[in-house]
Each structure stands twice: as structure tokens, then as C-alpha cells.
Amino acid sequence: MIIFRPDPAEFLIEYLETEKESEGIMKKTLLLLVIIFFWFLSPVQAEVKTFVHTVRQPFSGSQSPDDARVAATHKAKREVLEKAGTYLETLSIVEDGRLTKDQVLALASGILKTEIVSQEHYSTKEGFGIIIKARVKVDTSVLGNKVKKRLADQAVMRQLIDLRKKEKELLDKVELLEKKNQNLINSKETVRNKQDKRELQKAFQQATRGFGAILLNYYAISFWKHGKYSNPTKVIGILNEAIRLEPLYANSYSNRGNAYYNLKQYEKAVQDFNKSIELNPDNSDAYNSRGLMYIHLGQYAKAVRDFDKALKLNPNNEAVYNNIGLMYGKFEEYDKALLSINKSIRMGANNGEIFYNRGTIYVNLKQYEKAVQDFNKSIELNPDNSDAYNNRGTTQLSLTQYKKALQNFNKAIALNPNNPNAYNNRGICYMALGEQRLACLDLKKGCALGICLVLEEAKKQGSCL
């Protein structure tokens, strides 16, 4: 379950898009990375480990070739990732053995790219089948950074674990269906036998639709960039199809709810989280996200109940404490907000968003040096967040560090030219530097983008007329 917060601070998540399956063997490529620090140092080469796994999948009777191919593809990709996961466990960068097996495999599915390098049909005297060959490459030169980024968001890790669990359930179901299929093939043809074959065919097709829904959820996650969906409208379309294929998978609704949140359609988001909770009432993240929607809707009593339920289901859900801190901030109870967000950080939250939020709390507590430190950390973790630069600049204004503040406002505007707060703050900074003409241009731009309060105040004082 992906978690969103009301503040615009973002954290970096990368997810590789699902590969389309292709016929034939793909051309192999070799990556050689040479890093030269000084002329007297030896070149450093990246180690690239390659893992391959092949699955033979027979089909006959009620199982169509397409149903067999889909199941075999998922099985091949899953098992080659397990081989790669076993290798990851031997590396010190994977938390020095502090991750469970499920977490390691979820991590592998989130940072490694699986390919179907060949698929071909075969026939024997017993019948027909398909051979699927999958491959995954592990490039240790970039692995550490990917691991760090993925582990920064435990909510996404939990979702990846759930997706793998759902996939395993479907593969187990297909295995049982295949046994039933073989028994029906070997049994005497009767009216009941024909009916059972039709029901079995429907069950195979349903499993195939379930696999499709899983792939679409992975595809939706591939749009998760810097703490939000880069294209929430497209993600909603993807998840609409996932829900059409499998209307009983709770995570599809949660993910679509998060996309609606990105579009600020809070009521629709609540409806989706309601459905997700109805289908899976034990999902702490769904309650946490719905609680966040209630904050935006001003329904704080409902938010408190959802956060309480989320913590009962998972006392270690660090994201809940971040959101509780945000709610305290809404009521200007900054000391309580700080305690809550600090707890989230102690529990392992380590993304640009959490430090942005705490930095904002420090600003309200007038602890400006600490605020700057947190905005520094937020920008280090997410260098593309316009609001973090804007807030750091605002804090430096309070510290009369005008030139540093100006640099931050310039960066904030470069990242988001439609940020009215950044223009207004830069205008204030220009005023402090004695650049009234530039100040008025910025204040007018900020007003044109929707926030005119600063310009109006300047006019009252005889400026920017």
C-alpha cells in the first residue's frame, strides 16, 4: 500500500516497468563500467551477476495455451528472482541479514529487472507444452543505491510483499487446477464430466485475469516517482483495468485511492479506501491512508479513529506517526507534532518527506537552525522537491541569510515555475536586498499564480504600485 501525505515533500522510489513478453531470444548485452579517479589508480569494474531459470509447462484439456503461457511466465520470473534474492542475501548492503526472506524477495522484485529471453512450444506423445526461459541481471555497481531507495519506503515494501503473496496464491491455485484437469482428462466422459471441464476452464481463465491484475499493479507502481504518481490520471486508467480483471483484489483500490489523492479528489479516494478495507480489513496502511484523506476533508475525529486502528493492526507502522504529527500541526500543537514525527524517524522512516515535515515543525517552533538541517537532509534524499528549497530559503530569510535564501528560491522556481510561494518569498528577499524592481516583478508573478496577499501588503506600504 503506497502512502501519501498532505505536504508536498517527496521521497524517491524507483520501480522498473513490467517487461512485455517477446518471442525468440533477446540479444545479450555486456555492461562494463570503468571508474578512473586518478591516473595512478587501477580501473574499477562493476560485477554483473546473471541468473537464468527455465520452466516447462504442459497444457491440455481445459487449460488453454494462453492460460498455460501466463502461468509459466509468472512462475519463471518468480523463481529466477528467488535465485537472485538468495545472492542478495549474501551482500552486506542488504541490511546485513536484518531482512526476512519475504522482505529480501520483495526487495528483489522492486529493484531487479526480469526478462523473458525465450519462449517456445514443444510436443511429446503425452501432449503439448511451452518452455519459458527467464533472466535477471544484478549490477552491483548500482545495487547499493537502489536498495537504499527502496528500503526508504516501508509501505511500498509491504505492498511488494503482498503482491508476491497474491502471485503465490494464484500459482498454487493453478497447480491444483492442473491436477484436476489431468484427472478429468483420464476419466470417463459423462454429462457431469463435461460440466466440470467447463467450470475448470473458467477457473483457469479467472487465474489468468488475476495474474493480469498483479502485472497492472506493478505497472502502476512504475509511475511512483518522488513520493507521488507522476501521471495519476494514467494510473487510474491502469487500475480501472486491474479492477475489471480482478474486482476482489484490495490493493488495486488502495493504489487507485492514492492516485485520486494526487489529484486532490479526496472523496473518491475515501471510497476506494473503504472498498480496500472491506476486502482486506487487516491492512494497516489502508486505514492510515484513509485517515490522511479525512485530515484533508477536515473530519479529524474519523482520522483519529483510522490512525488508532492502523496502529492496532501494525504498531510498527512508522507512517502513521508521521500523519499524526501532521494532524497535530494542523491544530498548531507543534510540540506534540514534533514528538510524533520524531517517533516515526526513530522507527526507521528515512525519506525526504519526513525530514521536510519535521523541518516545517521546527520553523513553527522558531528553531531555525534545526529546520535548515532537516531541509538539507530532505533535499539530499529528494533533490527535486521545489517546496523543500522554498522552505529552506524562507528559514534562511528568518536567519537574515539573504543571499543563501535567494539561491534556494531560484532553485525552487527552476524546479516548479508555477510555485507562487517561491515567487512571493523571492520578492521579499529582493526587498531585503534593496532590489525593489525585481521584488515587485516577483510579487506580481506570485499574485498572477494565485497568491496576492504579499503584493497587496507591499502596495499598502507604498511599493509595487
The confidence score (pLDDT) of residue 95 equals 58
d(Cα 84, Cα 396) in Å, to the nearest integer? 47
Q: What is the pLDDT of residue 439?
A: 95
Query: Cα 158 to chain center, whole Å?
Result: 10
Alpha carbon separation from 434 to 252, 316, 451, 458 (Å, rounded): 54, 51, 22, 14
Measured over the CA atoms of residue 210, residue 214, residue 215 and residue 216, the dihedral's sign is positive
Please, are residues 167 and 74 in contact by the beta-carbon 8 Å criterion? Answer: yes
Residue 187: CB atoms within 10 A of its CB come to 12
* DSSP per-residue letters across 300-352: HHHHHHHHHHHHHH-TT-HHHHHHHHHHHHHTT-HHHHHHHHHHHHHTT--SH
pLDDT at residue number 193: 84
Neighbouring CB atoms inside 10 A of 153's CB total 23
Of the candidates 187, 188, 236, the residue with the CA atom closest to the CA atom of residue 216:
236
Q: Are 313 and 1 in contact (CB under 8 A)?
A: no
Alpha-carbon distance 368 to 398, whole Å? 8
3-class state of residue 378 by DSSP? helix
Instruction: Tell me if 76 sits within 8 A of 116, measured CB to CB.
Output: yes
> Looking at residue 432, what is its pLDDT?
94
Residue 299 corresponds to which cell in the numbers above? 473530519
Per-residue pLDDT tens listing for the chain (465 residues)? 333 333 322 222 222 233 333 333 233 322 222 222 233 344 444 578 899 999 998 888 889 999 999 999 999 999 999 998 888 888 766 655 577 888 888 888 888 888 999 999 988 877 789 999 999 998 877 787 778 777 777 788 888 889 999 999 999 999 999 999 989 888 888 888 889 899 999 999 999 999 999 999 999 988 887 677 889 999 999 999 999 999 999 999 999 999 999 999 999 999 999 999 999 999 999 999 999 999 999 999 999 999 999 999 999 999 999 999 999 999 999 999 999 999 999 988 888 889 999 999 999 999 999 999 999 999 998 898 999 999 999 999 999 999 999 999 999 999 999 999 999 999 999 999 999 999 999 999 999 999 999 999 999 989 998
Instruction: Judge contact between 258 and 273, C-beta under 8 A.
Output: no
What's the pLDDT at 362? 97
- Beta bridge pairs of residue 55: 132
CA distances from 338 to 124, 278, 316, 366 (A): 68, 33, 18, 13
3-state secondary structure of 17: coil
